[in-house]
Structure formats: C-alpha cells, structure tokens
Amino acid sequence: MKWIREFDEILPDQIGLYGGKNSSLGDLRRLGRQKGFHVPDGFALSTLAFREFMLSNSLTEQIQKKIQDFHSDRISLEKTGMDLRELVLTGEFSEEMANEVHAAYRALCKRLHKTEVTLVVRSSATAEDLPDASFAGLHESYLNIRNEEECLRACKQCMASLYTDRALLYRRKKEIDEERVALSVGVQQMIRADQGVSGVLFTLDTETGFPNVVLLNASWGYGESVVQGAVDPDQFLVFKHALIAGAKEPIIEKKRGAKGHKLICEATETPFARESVLRQIPCTQQERDRLSLEDQDIMDLAHWAMQIEHHQKKAMDIEWVKDGTDGALYIVQARPETVHAKRKQYLSTYQFKENPGDILLEGVSIGRAITHGKVRIVRSLAELDGIAPDQILVTKMTSPDWVPAMSKAGGIITEKGGRTCHAAIVSRELGIPAIVGAVGAMERLHDHQQITMATSAGEIGEVYPGWIEFERKENDLATFRRTSTLLMINLASPEAAFSSWNLPVDGVGLARIEFIISEKIGLHPMAAAHPDRVAPPLLEGWIDRIRPGHRTPAEYFVDALSSGIAKIAAAHYPKPVIVRTSDFKSNEYASLIGGDEFEPTEVNPMLGWRGASRYTSEHYRDGFALECKALKRVRGEMGLENVIVMIPFCRTPLEAKETLQEMAQYGLHRSEQGLKVYMMCEIPSNVLMLEEFDPYFDGYSIGSNDLTQLVLGVDRDAEHLSALFNEEESAVKLAIRQLIRRSKELRKPIGICGQAPSDIPGFSNFLVQQGITSISVNPDSLLSVHHQIQEAEFNR
C-alpha cells in the first residue's frame, strides 16, 4: 500500500511518517509479542497521506495564510481553529486513498477472524508525544467505529483535529513550525471497557519523580473518565524492586476511589450518519465499594510497564484496558513521561513566614509550591474568558478544551479528579500548582476571595484564607557533598515520603508509627483488635469507611499501617529506614476512636504507661501484635528488608528481653532475614546501663527531647519551665557524650533523631566531635545541618 502500514510494520524511528503515537504502537506490538502482553492490532495512515490530502484539496496555502494571520494576532484563536477545521472537513479523499483505507480495514477483519471489527481512530501528530513536546488531549479520538465508511470519515475528522484551539495554542507556545507539522491517523481494534476496567499508569511517581514505583489508576468503563479527572479512581502503587525480586506483596498501596460513575459508548443515529458518544452512567454500589482490579492484574500491568520502560530507556505514561468480556488486559498507548524527564536536581523549599492559620479546604496536592491569588469560580467553558495570573481557577473538573485558559491561571483547584487526571497532568507540565479532588470547593470558596494554596508538604494540598507570606529557596543538589557522619532525615507522613527520595541523605533516622495510626487510621490499636469492647456508635462511621475489602478492623489496621511504613521504606530503599514502634502517651491514645475504653487516666502521661512497658502488658499486647504483623508484612511479603525496628522508652533490660520475645511470636526474630533492632536512648537508665541493654540491640538512637526532660527533671510541655528545658545543659551533654563513647566501645552505631541539631546552632559540631555515627533531622533543616556537619568535620 502507498499510504498505509499495519502497526507491525511501523518502526520506532518513523515518527516523521507516523507520529509518536503510531510509531510507539508499532514498537509496542513487537515488544508485546516478545514479552507476552497484548496490544490491539491496527494500521496507520502516514503523514504523506495527510499532505497528499491537503494538496489534492488545495488546502495548504489557505491553511498557512490563516495561521500567519493568527500568529500576527489579526484573527482570534477561536476563529482560526474553526475555519481551519471546516476547511479540512470539506475536503475529499482521493479514490486511491479511500480504497486503501477500505482494504486495510478488511485485512484487519481477516487477521482477527471477524466480519466486522469495532475500531478506535486516533490522531498521531509529528509534534506530539516527543520527549520535549507532549500534552494531554491535544487532538481527537473517535470511538466505536464499525465499518469502512465510518472509518474513512473518522480519519478525516482526526486530520481536522490537528487544528483544535488547544493544539494551535500549544504549538505556538512551544514555537513549533506549523509548516513542519503533519498528522498520521491510527486505526486500532477497540477493546470494550463498557463492562470492564481501564486507566493509566506511570513508571514513576507523578508528583515527585520517584522512579522506583509504578503508579496505576483504574476505574470502571472507558479511561477518558480517569484521564479527564471526571471520576475519583482507585490508585495502586507497586514497588519495582519487590516485583522484580518476586516478593509476595509488591503492591505497597491500594486506595479505593469513589468511582461514582463510568463512561460507556453509545451509538446515535442521525439522518446523515451514525455517531458514537460516550455517556456517563452511575456506577452500582457494588462497583463503588470494591477495587476495580485484582492483585494479579495490578502486578501484570506493572510488570509490562517496567518492560516497556526498560525497552524505551525512559519513564513512560501508559494507557491500558481490561476487556469486560474475556478479562484480557491490553496496553493501548505508551508515551514518554515528560514532566520529570529533564528536571534538574534542585531542592526547592517553601516555608510560610507566619502561622497560616485555619485550613479552608483540602485535596490532592499537585506540584510542590505555595502561591496566592483571587478565587475565580468557573462552571463551564463559556466562563473561562479573562483568566489572569493572579487568579486561582476553581472548578469541578477540566478537559482538553480548557488548556488555553489554564495556562494563564496562577493556580488550579478542582472538586473532582486524582493524581493522573487531566487537570493534574496539564498543571504539572505548565508548572502551575493545583489541588484536585477538593470536595466542596465551589461552595466553600467565592469569587474574588483572596486565598493562599500550599502544595508543598506532601500529597495533601491545603487552602488558607488571605494572603500569607512565604519564602522559597532553591538549592542545586549536584553541589551537595557527602559527609563522614551519616546525614539522615526524620519522616512521619507516608504522603510526604516520596518527596524526599532524591535528597542526598543516608536513609531515614526516624519514622514514627504513631503518626500513621493517628492520621491514616484513627482507631485505637486495641479497639481494632477487640471491636466488641467499643460502643457501636463510635465504630459505626469508621467501619462504614473501611469495610469494603476488609473483613475486620484488625485486618484494615494492619493493611493501612503496613502500607504507610512501606511507602517510607520504599522511598529510600535500600538505605536503612529506622521505624519506631508506637510511642503515644495515654492521653494521646485516648483521643483515638475507642481509646477511652482502653486507656487509664494518668496525672503525668509523659512519665506513665508508654513505650516498651505497653508491649508485653495484657492491656496492650494485642495492639502491639498488630504493629508487629504490619512490620513483618513490610519486611517479608513486601520485600522491604531495609526496615530497622526501634523500641522507644525502654526502662530496663528485662523490658528489652520481653519485648524481643513478644516480637518473635509474630515472626520478627532479631538477626533473621537481616532484622536489626535498635533502642531509643532517652532515659537515664539507658545511659547508666547501656552495657546491660546491649545484648538485645544492634544500635542506638538518642532521643534528645525526652533525655533532656528526664536528666533535668523538667516537663518538656510545661510552658512556665520552658527556659529550663535546654539540651545544651552540661548534664545533658554529659549523658550524650557517655552514650556515644560507650556505644563505640561496644562497636554499635549510634545516632540522634531529636530536635537539638536542627534548632541549636553548634549542637551538630558537638555531636561530630564526640564521634556520633549519624544525625537525623527534619527535611527543612537538612541544608543548614549539612553545612554544620561539614564545618565540624573539617575542624575535627
């Protein structure tokens, strides 16, 4: 054939002839046959066919003249796009070209052993899907095409979509020469997702660029609802190392989305032709409650994605479908991920100059920034005119037609959508901070309202009232030198873990389990283990939230806790991640759901029932068992053996011995599978009797806050004694000096994870001079403490 090639015949270096999308499909088809995954069959009209169509209909000069007028601002974007699309649609295919399309369609039917094949017809431009030029939804696709004539008409409509308003504006912004732009049309077997599942996946974390996970979004029906952000999808994270190593549970996170509706394809008859449209229908309650993919499907898709990434040697953005009739999975599109492809390694830090106050609104954070502006509520495409950089666009969701206006906004907030929706993808490429899935935004905000939006703290984006001052610092990580003293970070939130993956640190010195319990779970561990002992009204709302997919509260507790720990551990694998078992005080435990049933009233909780004393107590043993099960799952089933367990507030060597025995009952045997157990040194008995504690631990970490409190006898929460609470007091420094010296004599590593190095100038110098193994600080203190360590090592 002169104008057409089957996908199997198209080579990856033929982008000039078939565009990025179709060249990729040809490459995918061959790779799929080698690796065992499915890519729907089809064929493509080359860009030569497009240019021949333009010449035979005398369109080339007319189109160039109108584009010149647009670039000279003599005619509007909207007028240019409408005129150009009309010119193309009035053209006719030559008899030779039309015959080739008919022949290619019949050949496809024959290969698939069918008399008629349902098709999707897609645009594939030569300036689309290239590493430095990719945008979501620039050109059109047409679904449910069922015969030769419909196929021919859809091919022409795709050619016309080269001149959508958003495509014209994009090429102008990217300074792409219009005369060198052409369009290939891909014709592909359509996989029916009406009764199936579809979605998108990325071979990295889309927010942070973390490369060691596969991020997968899925929902019922056709994938446009996921891409456009019209539905809150299920989300899955697969840890690549665990998948390669054959770990039992490489899926480190599963989030059930609301999935309120799905898209199905319907045909409508007109006097002139049959047209297919996507129609939105509600999902059933059963569809909403269950996850849309089974574990094996998730792992298969992740495995295929990694094969594609390895083949292409770059991070990929992939669309997939699960056929609802035969259950088969298909890769339908793959293109390079462009947002993080050329991003330089800078550490940008944003920090409020003052307390931002009460939060107005929360949602999924897109980008890492703080910005402020005036609210501009938009309910439809017709209201988009006049968007300005000082405005925050607030709407339900966005679509490709909104791109010209979105590019002008200072920030974007949508009520619907997830991390891979249209608004999220476009915002990242434009470099505009966004918060998606902010339920109720259009009711709780109003036009012209001054707000500050913060997307800098992790997965949760926050909106505050008013204009709140902040500062931004940008630091080139390429200039960051490693030190002999290990520099580590403290992490609490799993949602913020991936933000730290490329920091030049030696691991995580402190990951707090209690943060995951309070923020992600909310239920007292003993209430999860014994829900029958909790008043039903207290559990009712909580159980309704977690019931689908979990048989008991205990099962949910272990699942949520292990997922949170796994995200932190995966972010820094294979570097050590020290996870401290729960160290709530009794009043903090009591504030959890069901906590009053299990907690005593203590006069001084800071010196009460906390840490190791709980773990072997009959009043908390079953709660600690859930923590142990989660840790065992992370290290064993999820393959994250870089997790080190740390025991807090261990008063006596007997407590240490009994705690290790308790852990062993749940498969956490010290030294087995490389398990190391550390002790938090924060009690004077730890200092005085380190040799007696030593047989039970592999290393130590100094908790300077509690150690200061107990050495000086000062309640760290007592405001009227705050002047006495000082880590630089001689007695405190003497205790720290003894801990470091004795641990070195015992040949055990010792670090510090308290606030002192971050808050006290010169404290890091003291620690380095004593020979401490590691210093762990909050990420926002990383640069200043690193400088202090460098200086101390130079002067040592």
For the question of residue 422 being annotated catalytic, the response is yes
C-alpha angle with apex 601: 599 to 605, nearest 5 degrees? Answer: 90
Find out whether 51 and 180 touch, Cβ atoms under 8 Å. Answer: no
Crossing angle for the helix pair 763-770 and 782-795, to the nearest 10 degrees: 50
Buried b vs exposed e over 738-773: b needs ≥16 C-beta within 10 Å? ebbebbeebebbbbbbbbbbbeeeebbbbbbebebb
Report the 10 Å Cβ neighbour count for 304: 26
* 3-class DSSP assignment, residue 275: strand
Active-site residue, 753 included: yes
Q: How many CB atoms lie within 10 A of CB 530?
A: 17
Cα–Cα distance, 237 to 248 (Å, whole number): 15
Report the C-alpha gap between 757 and 738 in whole angstroms: 18
Question: 690 near 746, Cβ under 8 Å?
Answer: yes
Tallying the residues shown for the chain, one arrives at 796
Report how far residue 177's alpha carbon sits from residue 532's, in angstroms, rounded to the nearest whole number.
70
- 574 cis-preceded (ω within 30 degrees of 0): yes
Contacting residues for 61 by C-beta, under 8 A, at least 6 apart = none
Structure tokens at 581: 């078992």
58 Cβ neighbours under 8 A, 6+ residues apart: none
| Torsion of the alpha carbons at 16, 311, 421 and 128, rounded to the nearest 10 | -10
Kindly state the helix (H) or strand (E) to which residue 732 belongs, with its residue range. helix 730-745
Catalytic residue among 139, 261, 372, 422: 422
- Which listed residue (158, 421, 681, 753) is catalytic? 753
**Distances in Å between the alpha carbon of 127 and those of 48, 77, 130, 186, 231?**
15, 19, 7, 15, 29
CA distances from 57 to 52, 53, 88, 340 (A): 8, 6, 9, 42
First to last CA, the chain: 76
Cα(620)–Cα(786) distance, rounded to whole angstroms? 40
* 3-state SS record for 331-370: EEEEEECCCCCCCCCEEEEEEECCCCCCCCEEEEEECCCE
Q: 415: which 2 tokens?
A: 């009520």
d(CA 182, CA 15): 10
Strand partners, 329: 322
d(CA 510, CA 491): 6
Among residues 566, 511, 431, the alpha carbon closest in space to that of 779 is found at: 511
Alpha-carbon dihedral sign for residues 634, 639, 643, 645: positive
- CB of 205 within 8 A of CB of 337? no
CB 293 within 8 A of CB 255: no
The Cβ-side half-sphere exposure at 364, using a 13 Å CA radius, reads 22
Beta strand pairing call for 486-491 and 508-512: parallel
Single-letter residue type at 610: R
Read off the tokens for 213. 């996970």
The phi and psi torsions of 598 (rounded to 5 degrees) equal -115, -5
The b-or-e profile of 213-224 (16+ CB within 10 A means b, else e) is bbbbbbbbbbbb
Provide the token pair at 358.
Answer: 């009460």
Catalytic residues: 422, 753
